[in-house]
Amino acid sequence: MKPLRIMLRRHAAIVLAALAALAADALLVGAEAALPVAAAASILPASAGAADSVAKLPAALGRPALKVARPELANLLAIARSGNRLVAAGERGLIIYSDDSGQHWTQAQVPVSVSLTALRFASQRDGWAVGNMGIVLHSTDGGASWQRVFDGQQAAALAEQAAQQAWDAVKPDPNNADHPLNLLLADARRLVDEGADKPFLDLRLHADGSLLVVGAYGLAYTTSDGGKTWQAQMKNLPNPNGATYYGIAERQQEQYLFGEQGVLLRADTPDAAFAAQTSPASGSLFGGLATRQGTLMLFGLRGKVYRSAQPGVPWTEVQTPVDAALITGLQLADDTVLLLGSAGQIVASKDQGQSFINLGLKTRFPFTGAAVAPDGTLIVTGTRGLLRLPAASLTAAVPATSSKAAQP
């Protein structure tokens, strides 16, 4: 059983890299992991006492992002609002920001050159970004400059420490290879051996200032002091196969983790423990969106959308007119829901996700993120950079409902 389990995890890594790149090779998950080791050393990890050794950082974690002549045309993987500022992030540590609704962009100062997969802002100045090699970045000036606060080497060391502590508390038979604690410790030691090559793929900021980051192989870490110390959470999450978390969704007080092969975990409140849920999906879920009205949608492979109208209401599968993966989504000011996909398609709904139509776009490339600029323009990120779309005219033709609308 053990060799098969490892083989499946290796296969999942290949699938993860292919999907995260959205049919492009820009994420460089494997390439960055193979880069030579930097000469500079760093004491690991951020949490005091987690390790007493000095380890060398991979070069990409110690090399600042290179200056890009046309950053708005680069491979961009995420975008977020910071007050009236737009901030986008992408390959090789690129972060750019705009103060004029996306018409002009300035490259930020970033201390790493790994691809960045997600970013969010707690306030107009306080921002966080995550990405490949387990990187977590923090900004205190609205995204103009960033500092490295956590990385994959620190994450691996913390995982090994937490697994060893859990193992020591029970001391299971080490010859029982299938014991959960033996598996947990073996996986943690493998993380250390393999180094900083696992990406974080999403993050969530909570009202109390704490932060949760999640990613490949079920990795999950929290900090409650602004990134000074971190805690590994894998042993607290019911994910025995180590499925990758592609994202985190929030609806009112509910928290959801979702990802590979439809894995789905739920917590009643940000402080509650996560519990495994019966997933409505058999394929991977890449995105989640909660509307202001309380509807939660999860979406992913083959254009699949799953909808829950309110907390406690069962999931309903909703048909969409596309069969490519849906990656990200947002709700506009007029309550129109837009979901964007890896084939450069946008589907729209004006009935809280009960039905969707495909918006015909002249310009299409794999989309990765979207945000509404202060002037109302829709800014879309993807493998060919940025696309500015007039949101109002985009959704003008979307019907209020359709004959195929699912019931709440």
Rounded distance between C-alpha atoms, residue 232 and residue 249, angstroms: 20
Rounded to an integer, the average pLDDT of 371-386 is 96
Alpha carbon 343 to chain centroid, angstroms: 19
Strand order across the beta sheet in which 264-267 lies: 245-251, 254-259, 264-267, 275-276
Cα→Cα distances 228→110, 148, 222, 224, Å = 19, 11, 11, 8
| 1 pLDDT higher than 60 | no
Strands (E) across 126-279 are located at 127-131, 136-139, 147-150, 200-205, 211-215, 220-223, 231-232, 245-251, 254-259, 264-267, 275-276
Rounded to an integer, the average pLDDT of 357-373 is 93
pLDDT tens digit sequence for 246-290: 999 999 999 999 999 999 999 999 889 999 999 999 999 999 999
What pLDDT, on a 0 to 100 scale, did the predictor assign at position 397? Answer: 67
Amino acid (1-letter code) at residue 221: Y
Contacts of 47 (CB under 8 A, 6+ apart): 154, 158, 229, 230, 231
What pLDDT, on a 0 to 100 scale, did the predictor assign at position 401? Answer: 65
What pLDDT, on a 0 to 100 scale, did the predictor assign at position 279? Answer: 97
What pLDDT, on a 0 to 100 scale, did the predictor assign at position 400? Answer: 74
Rounded distance between C-alpha atoms, residue 79 and residue 133, angstroms: 20
The β-bridge partners of 380 are 370, 387
| 12 pLDDT higher than 80 | no
Residue 12 sits at φ, ψ, to 5 deg, of -60, -35
State the maximum Cα–Cα separation within the chain, in Å, rounded to a whole number.
65
Rounded distance between C-alpha atoms, residue 271 and residue 253, angstroms: 10
Rounded distance between C-alpha atoms, residue 380 and residue 359, angstroms: 14
Output 107 or 362, whichever has higher pLDDT.
107
Nearest to 299 by CA among 253, 233, 346: 346
Rounded to an integer, the average pLDDT of 133-157 is 97
**How many distinct helices (H) and strands (E) make up the chain?**
6, 29
The answer to whether the CB of 93 falls within 8 A of the CB of 64 is yes
Count of positions (residues) in the chain: 408
Contacts of 226 (CB under 8 A, 6+ apart): 138, 149, 209
The answer to whether the CB of 201 falls within 8 A of the CB of 246 is yes
Contacts of 233 (CB under 8 A, 6+ apart): 212, 220, 221, 222
Rounded distance between C-alpha atoms, residue 299 and residue 306, angstroms: 6
- In which band, very low, low, confident or very high, does the pLDDT at 363 lie, cut at 50, 70 and 90? confident
What pLDDT, on a 0 to 100 scale, did the predictor assign at position 55? Answer: 56
- In the three-class reduction of DSSP (H, G, I as helix; E, B as strand; rest coil), residue 140 is classed as coil
- In which band, very low, low, confident or very high, does the pLDDT at 404 lie, cut at 50, 70 and 90? very low
pLDDT tens digit sequence for 320-350: 999 999 999 999 999 999 999 999 999 999 9
What pLDDT, on a 0 to 100 scale, did the predictor assign at position 157? Answer: 94
What pLDDT, on a 0 to 100 scale, did the predictor assign at position 354? Answer: 96
Rounded to an integer, the average pLDDT of 22-29 is 33
Output 72 or 395, whichever has higher pLDDT.
72
What pLDDT, on a 0 to 100 scale, did the predictor assign at position 364? Answer: 87
Output 49 or 231, whichever has higher pLDDT.
231
Contacts of 170 (CB under 8 A, 6+ apart): 181
| 39 pLDDT higher than 70 | no
Residue 344 sits at φ, ψ, to 5 deg, of 75, 30
Mean pLDDT for the chain? 86
